[in-house]
Amino acid sequence: MATSPYRDAYRRSLTDPSGFWADAAREIHWDRRWDQVLDDSQAPLYRWFTGGRLNTCYNALDRHVAAGRGEQVALIYDSPVSGTVRRFSYRELTDAVARFAGVLVAQGAGRGDRVIIYMPMVPEAVIAMLACARIGAVHSVVFGGFAPAELAKRIDDALPVVVVSASCGIEGQRVIAYKPLLDQALELAAHKVRRCVILARPEAAAELSAGRDVDWQAAVAAASPADCVSVQATDPLYILYTSGTTGKPKGVVRDHGGHAVALVYSMRAVYDARPGDVFWAASDVGWVVGHSYIVYAPLLTGCTTVLYEGKPVGTPDAGAFWRVVAEHRVNALFTAPTAFRAIKKEDPEGRLLAGRDLSCLRTLFLAGERCDPDTVLWAEARLKVPVVDHWWQTETGWPVAANCRGLEPMPIKPGSASVAVPGFDVQVLDDAGGAVGAGTIGNIVIQLPLPPGTLPTLWHNDAGYRDAYLSRYPGYYLTGDAGFIDADGYLSIMSRIDDVINVAGHRLSTGAMEEVLAGHPDVAECAVIGAADALKGQLPVGLVVLKAGVSRPHELITAELVDRVRREIGAVAALKHVTVVARLPKTRSGKVLRATMRAIADARDYNVPATIDDPRILDEVTVALKALGYGTGS
């Protein structure tokens, strides 16, 4: 392998992981140096930096103040839905976190105790997370507005001593009262929570339950600031629940030491971010992107982070992102492809960019689901900056594949997540566990051990971790994604493994078909699902959302789409049915609910996912699929 900054780093990360990550760990303040960098004594359950001690909150806040950066802005809160912009310096944020950490201590929380945070996108959510880290408590953030039954499941699994919540959240023009949802969840849960701290927002009042609920402001006023508590590097920092196939949520665990080391490394190597840069991850603190790149990574690095309570469109229009970038001089923007597809749908010509000074923006990063090449090219043409599609998961906590801008910027291949990030030995295997050739679609795996910052296990469920991720291919972590690595080493994620369909014995990627559909000039976004077919096993069905202002007959457009797939993939794709829908069903984080749509097409029972953005969309999809002859059970 030829030498280069990226190749040298990647080679060393695999041949000398202990030395590589020990060097990266020098960016972190340790209360006690580790005894062992990589602990393989319990393989395949590996641990990093065993014996080391540190405090994540100290590394994210206090050390920057001690180093003279106290007056730098740490957090910008921008909320178009409430008409609010607030800025916190590192000194102010440290003081606020220390004070709320004192509130948690006063309510009975300490090292190892769990605290559930059920909050909207407000600064207090960030403060609560960092306050837990400060005292060694384990936070579990649940997306604000989650259904009571789902919140109750997480309460019963985490067994929190305290729940932190707010009177309401704001979704576009809607005010959603959180307190009634929380009260219902607490009634449903078998575990009884002793204390709840409730932030009152002016948009809605909350009725407090005497003896259990305390007002945030009153509690803060009465609290004494809490100091940082030194914890083991292998102690849990947080639990983040992700949906499991059994209906029982899987609690992904993140530790303190490996997490801090990996995130600081990723900010430098992948995102090319340095202290003082303004970094904006347009996500939600309830998702892994919010944990890693709204809260922890930017602050651990000494950046200014942006917390945005709004939407890419509708608050007030499809120019919302451009306003935030221009006003706050954002250097790096990280969001989901679905956000840019929504912007492109509403403003396909990019007219709302006019008059905005975006000269501060160096790079746009996209992740969260597969990004079609058309969206990458659209964004590049309008923003005039590199658009980096990269890939990672809740479980990994930081990027697995990316164009590592801080190591060695590489050519961008639209549709590809670029190359494996140092630390990740990514391979593609067939169903029998054999390696496939370049350009051949297979199951994407990562050879063990996974690098620092990834999940060491599931919360109180080592057996579930082994079964879900490690059992199919011994010695490898199964990502659940399908794709291929090309001759240049570039990785392309095509779909979830379940979305590789079998048409008359041919394994076909729905992602490849979506790429062709998305390239049509009238299409804003699309999804292809595999519907059961008695003759061929499965047949692909396309659902497309058109760009704003498209008035051509739908029948003409769908015929063109069928023809495009036949011409670009071939008759073997057997795509004969495409329908136009107003919207695609998605989670609140922007992932398209393909498995749910497959169940509708196959007339199978399904549970409405707790994370769905708007359940009414499923009714619209059901009608559209039935018009094509699917979903009738015949």
Per-residue pLDDT tens over the stretch 112-121: 999 999 999 9
Which token pair is 381? 């043409």
pLDDT reported for residue 634: 42
Least confident stretch, 142-146, 264-268, 381-385: 142-146
Report the alpha-carbon distance of residue 78 to residue 280 in Å, rounded: 11
Window from 118-127, 440-449, 489-498 with minimum mean pLDDT: 489-498
Q: What type of residue sits at position 589?
A: S
Q: What is the DSSP string of 231-293?
A: EETTSEEEEEEE--TTSSPEEEEEESHHHHHHHHHHHHHTS---TT-EEEE-S-TTSHHIIII
**pLDDT-based confidence at 506, cuts 50/70/90?**
low
Q: Please report, for residues 320, 346, 347, 353, 382, the alpha-carbon distance to residue 548 in angstroms, rounded to integers and kept in the order given.
A: 17, 5, 7, 17, 18
Residue 505: the pLDDT is: 61
What gap in Å lies between CA 45 and CA 97, rounded to an integer? Answer: 33
Q: Single out the residue of 380, 357, 159 nearest to residue 251, CA to CA.
A: 159
Q: Which pLDDT band, with edges at 50, 70 and 90, does 251 fall under?
A: very high
Cα dist from 323 to 330, 347, 413, 551, whole Å = 10, 15, 28, 30
Cα separations in angstroms, 538 against 276, 347, 479, 481: 52, 36, 24, 19
Lowest-confidence region among 40-49, 74-83, 265-274, 525-534: 525-534
The Cβ of residue 162 has, within 10 Å, a number of other Cβ atoms equal to 24
Could you give the 3-state DSSP secondary structure of residue 463? Answer: helix
DSSP-assigned letter for residue 61: I
Distance CA 4, CA 108 (A): 52
Instruction: Tell me which CATH homologous superfamily contains domain 5-310+390-483.
Output: ANL, N-terminal domain (3.40.50.12780)
Q: Is the peptide bond before 44 cis (omega within 30 degrees of 0)?
A: yes
Q: Return the residue matching tokens 């059970």.
A: 633
CATH of 504-627, one of 3.30.300.30, 1.10.274.100, 3.40.50.360, 3.30.450.40: 3.30.300.30
Does residue 249 surpass a pLDDT of 70?
A: yes
Pairwise CA distance, residues 179 & 169, whole Å: 10
Give me the chain's average pLDDT, please: 94
Q: Which of 69, 66, 119, 113 is nearest to 90 (CA)?
A: 69
- Structural contact between residues 66 and 47, judged by C-beta atoms closer than 8 angstroms: no
pLDDT tens digits for 286-320? 999 999 999 999 999 999 999 999 999 999 999 99
- The pLDDT, as a whole number, for residue 500 is 74
Region 88-99 average pLDDT: 98
pLDDT over 60 at 342, yes or no: yes
Q: Which two tokens stand for residue 106?
A: 């006063």
SS3 state at 630: coil
Task: Please tell me which residue, 412 or 613, carries the higher pLDDT value.
Answer: 412
| Percent of the chain whose predicted confidence (pLDDT) is above 90 | 82
What residue type is 51 in one-letter code?
G
- For the chain, give every domain's residue range: 5-310+390-483, 504-627
Strands 195-199 and 213-215: parallel
Q: What pTM was estimated for this model as a whole?
A: 0.88
How many residues belong to the chain? 634
Task: Place 402 in a pLDDT band, splitting at 50, 70 and 90.
Answer: very high
CA distance 201 to 214: 14
**CA–CA separation, 445 and 10 (whole Å):** 17
Please name the residues in contact with 504: beta carbons below 8 A apart, sequence gap of 6 or more. 535, 536, 537, 572, 574
According to the model, what pLDDT value does residue 570 have? 74
Condensed to tens digits (0 to 9), the pLDDT of residues 452-484 reads 999 999 999 999 999 999 999 999 999 999 999
CA–CA dist 33, 51 (Å, integer): 7
pLDDT above 80 for 372: yes
Write out pLDDT tens, residues 416-454: 999 999 999 999 999 899 999 999 999 999 999 999 999
Tokens of 177: 């009262």
Q: What is the 3-state secondary structure (H, E, C) of 217-245?
A: HHHHHHCCCCCCCCEECCCEEEEEEECCC
What are the backbone angles phi and psi of residue 299, rounded to the nearest 5°? -75, -40
CB 380 within 8 A of CB 386: yes
Indicate if the alpha-carbon torsion angle 621, 622, 627, 631 is positive or negative.
Answer: positive
Contacts of 551 (CB under 8 A, 6+ apart): none
> What is the spatial distance between Cα 46 and Cα 455, in angstroms, rounded to a whole number?
10
E strand or H helix that includes residue 366: strand 363-366
